[in-house]
Amino acid sequence: MNEISTWGEKMPDNVLFDYDGQQANHLEAHNVYGMQMVRSSYEGALEHFKERPFILSRSGFAGLQRYSAIWTGDNRAEDDHMLAGVRLMNSLGLSGVSFTGMDIGGFTGNPSTDLYTRWMELGAFIPYYRNHSAYQNKSAEPWTFGQDVLDIVRGYINLRYQLLPYIYSTFYESTQNGMPVMRSLALDNAFDQKIYWAEYENQFEFGNSLLVAPYESTKDFGKLYLPEGVWYDLYNGTRENGNQEKVIPLKINKLPVYVKGGSIIPMQSLVQTTAQKPVDTLFVHIYNGNTANRFVYYEDDGKSFDYKKGSYYKRAISFEPVGHNIVFDTVEGNYQSRFKHIKLILHGF
C-alpha cells in the first residue's frame, strides 16, 4: 500500500483559477481546489506506482471519495472529541464518503487511560483505524498504558483482523450502491423517532450487521436503544428484543456491540498483518432473526486493477427465516479465493 498525505494550504484570495471556463478567486473555488488536490495526488500516485494508490487527506469536496480517504483533522484527547468524531464520520457517510477516520486517542493532549482504552476499542469499528498523536505528547502506543490496556487493545485489534472479510466486502458494497461503511441508524430506521433522540446520537452501524454504542470514558452506565428486530450481544451471544431502551453497565474492557438478527458475517483466522495469509477456512457466522438478509461476499487481490477484467471472487449468501434456509449462490468472477473451505457458525438457532 502506498500512502500520500495531502495538506490544504491557505492561498491569497486574489489568485484566480479557471473553473469550468470561468475565472474564480480562491474564496469561491477553495472547496473545489480541495477535491482537485486529492484527484491530482491520486493520478500522480497511480502513474508512479502502477497499482491502486491510497491517498489520505483532511480536506476535499463532493467527489473526493473517488480518489481519497479522509480523516476529521487534528482533534484533542477529550471525550467530546471522540464522540464528535463519530457523528462527523456518520455525516460524511451520509454525504457519500465511506473511507473515513479520526485520530484515535486524540492528536493533541494526553488521554487518560480509560479514554485511550475506549477510543482504541471504538477504532476497531470505524473504516480507517489509525492511532495518531502529535510528537510532543505522551507516547500513544498501547503498551505505554500498561499491561491491562495492552491486553484489551490487542483483543480489539485481533478482532479487527478477523473481521477483514466482512469489512472488505462492505467496502465493495459501498462502491456499488454508495452505502457507507459506518452508518447512521437513520439509514435503516428512518421512521423510528427514537434514533433521532440526543441520548442515542452516538450509536451507529458498522456495515449492515453491527450496532456500536460508544460512551464517555467517565461513565459507569449508559443508555442504549436497540431498534426493531432481534439483536445479539457480540461477545456472549445473549439475545435481546429490539424496539427497547435500556440502561447497561459499562466496563472498560468492553465496547457495547450488538449483531442484528439475520446477519451474515464472514470472518477469517487471526493474522498480525494484511501481508500474512489466514488459514484456508472462511468462518461464516449467521445470526437467527425474523427478517431475511442477503450479503455479498467479495474478494480480489487488493492492489491491482485486474478486478475490472473479471479477476474477482463474488458470492451472494442469503438467509431466509422461514425454514431457516441458508443459500450460497454461484460464484461470480475468475479470481481464486484464498479460502478453500467454509465453516458455518450458527447463533440463536
DSSP per-residue letters across 244-275: EEEEEE-BTTB--EEEETT-EEEE----SSTT
Per domain, the residue ranges of the chain are 264-347
pLDDT digits (tens, 9 = 90+) for 196-211: 999 999 999 999 999 9
C-alpha cell at 201: 446520537
State the average pLDDT over residues 298-319: 97
Q: Looking at the chain, how many residues does it have? A: 349
pLDDT score of 188: 94
What is the pLDDT, as a whole number, of residue 68?
A: 95
What is residue 213's three-state secondary structure? coil
Which are the contacts of 106, defined by CB distance < 8 A and separation ≥ 6? 75, 76, 77, 78, 81, 82, 115, 119, 133
Q: What is the pLDDT of residue 9?
A: 52
Amino acid 35: pLDDT: 86
Chain-centroid distance, C-alpha 305: 23
Is the pLDDT at 28 greater than 90, yes or no?
Answer: no
Residue 7, pLDDT > 80, answer no
Rg of the chain taking only CA atoms, in angstroms? 21
Query: Which pTM does this prediction carry?
Result: 0.92
pLDDT at 172 over 60: yes
Amino acid at 345: I
* 264-347 is a CATH 2.60.40.10 domain: no
Dihedral sign from CA coordinates of 17, 23, 28, 33: negative
Query: Across the chain, what does the average pLDDT equal?
Result: 93
- Residue 131 CB neighbours (<10 A): 17
CB 41 within 8 A of CB 5: no
